[in-house]
Chains A and B, each alone.
Chain A
């Protein structure tokens, strides 16, 4: 799976309240949630995202609440992938479970600025910065998670298990 998009870069400890404030917790439509994505951290962010763009952050992205609407709201903006130095663990699970790809790659984050264009090969975990002509290798997913992603996320994974049992 190849991804190509422009980077929107954020700093450390972007929490779930920053990604989607709780006042939108009664919304479940990803596109509607996407309109409010990161509005407290960067007003107007959602209007600047083009479909396929890449979200980037430094450490502990997605810390705070377990609310899955944080991952849904990012997906709802059309963001194709999040690259960070590290992710908070509940957010990491939530994103994988709903099919929002995440990559941990400190070197790529350090060498990339907002506005750079990246080309990502998810299967290989390779990240190319087209502006700077640099290539990086992200930590590979464990087999267990690759299986989950290749099935299409947790919903089809469990559905196939429930039908076969």
Chain B
């Protein structure tokens, strides 16, 4: 069995599971956010639910429309907050442990290796970086899990992605995943698990791994997974309040298919409008003037991402006429960035620094685009209308490319504005 199959079998109380099999599995955590929790609460009540199955295993995060952006959002979030208090479940909105769901759940030790996690948010697959089987579901599914503690799942096949070589400077996890989605397409891993492997993967930071697992859903995958190594254990042990299980990766024959990439010559990648699979290397992007840059989100709003942006922005200024919006992924990330001096670098460069939110990524608030505008963003989707006007264009890149583009006023390689290449 593959890593995914081992985790699913354990949670279905079965010795073995096979791809295509339907199982009923016990979950370790169910999550919903402010766009999805409202319907989940309604459906929980429609199901006759009175108390959630285990308050310690249910979490709700208000992060898309916070700080509440209008009266409708305030009313919607008030309903979630009230339910969370009544049920005694984990709830995050404002406070020292708050932020974007997929940044704070691992950060606060709520997700651990070997877990089965479902969340009413498609980027729940982020937690695969920790060696957890984590997948996005809808509100009615989340309601059923809140009521019963279990979910029906079809066991997915696993596709192996092996990365070999040595990553060039300015090239990281975001480039690996954009490159991969560009190769296989937005439905290249439909209904499957993407397992990221190989010597390059072992050298990636946890932040880079979170970025890669996060975007597995953009290739249609059920989840993206990394085997647990020493770095994962160290990360988890520093945050865990409960024991966790490490499943070994020893199953070469059980993959559905294999991809192998040598990434030694990989350039920073750019997803052009309007698909995360419309990917080209930065050298093929010529003279595209931009109006806005967004650095943040559940994809690239972690400390490592902000450090990269600061490396580019230190001592430089954002091109006049370009709006550069930087959003730390959590209050903890914000505080650490402040203590490291990164926030001062951003402010001196002329960037706007915002409190944690998913606002711009989802076209909610804090950076909505007008018709005809172009934005370079470290977020995960560049669909038509994603960030506001359906007549705007979004280019997805890593944080260093985004920061360099803010300085140049057009899409550029970080080497073009810094002395480091």
Contact = CB atoms under 8 A, between A and B. Distances in A.
Interface of A: 13, 15, 17-18, 21-23, 25-26, 28, 40-41, 59-60, 63-69, 71-72, 86, 88-90, 93-94, 97-98, 142, 144, 148, 153-155, 157-159, 161-163
Contacts of A66: 36, 119-122, 124, 136-138
A154 B121 CA distance: 18
B220 A69 contact: no
B363 A86 contact: no
Given A67-B138, A93-B141, A161 B76 contact: no
A18 B382 CA distance: 12
Highest count of chain B CB atoms <10 Å: which of A88, A142, A148? A88
B100 to A, nearest CB: 15
Contacts of A13: 186-187, 275
Interface residues of B, number: 51
A85 to B, nearest CB: 10
Interface string B362-389: 1110000000000000000101111000
B383 A17 contact: yes
B381 A90 contact: no
Given A17-B383, A17-B385, A60-B186, A90 B122 contact: yes
Given A71-B138, A90-B137, A94-B141, A22 B35 contact: yes
A40 B22 contact: no
Nearest to A26: B72
A72 B49 CA distance: 21
Nearest first, the 7 A-B pairs at minimum CB distance are A94-B138, A68-B138, A60-B187, A26-B72, A66-B122, A66-B136, A97-B140
B383 A15 contact: yes
B221 to A, nearest CB: 9
A158 B138 contact: no
Nearest to B389: A40
A97 B141 contact: yes
Contacts of A93: 137-138, 141
11 contacts: A26-B76, A60-B187, A64-B122, A66-B121, A68-B120, A72-B39, A86-B187, A90-B136, A94-B141, A97-B140, A144-B152
Given A88-B190, A158-B147, A18 B383 contact: yes
Given A17-B381, A94-B138, 9 more contacts: A25-B364, A26-B73, A60-B190, A63-B187, A89-B190, A90-B138, A93-B141, A155-B47, A162-B49
A67 B73 CA distance: 16
Contact of B47 (A21, A90, A162): A162
B190 A23 contact: no
Nearest to B364: A22
Nearest to A60: B187
Interface of B: 22, 35-36, 38-39, 42-43, 46-49, 64-65, 72-73, 75-76, 119-122, 124, 136-141, 143-144, 147-148, 152, 154, 186-187, 190-191, 217, 220, 222, 275, 362-364, 381, 383-386, 390
Contact of A162 (B64, B147, B362, B386): B147
A154 to B, nearest CB: 5
Contacts of B383: 15, 17-18, 64
Nearest to B139: A68
Contacts of A90: 122, 136-138, 217
A156 to B, nearest CB: 8
Highest count of chain B CB atoms <10 Å: which of A15, A26, A93, A94? A26
B22 A163 contact: no
B409 to A, nearest CB: 27
Contacts of A157: 144
Contacts of A154: 43, 47, 140-141, 143-144
A26 B147 CA distance: 23
B373 to A, nearest CB: 16
B324 to A, nearest CB: 23
A148 B140 CA distance: 13
Contacts of B122: 64-66, 90
Contact of A158 (B47, B119, B362): B47
A95 to B, nearest CB: 9
Nearest to B50: A162
A74 B159 CA distance: 32
B36 A40 contact: no
Contacts of B121: 65-66
Contacts of A144: 22, 152
A143 B75 CA distance: 41
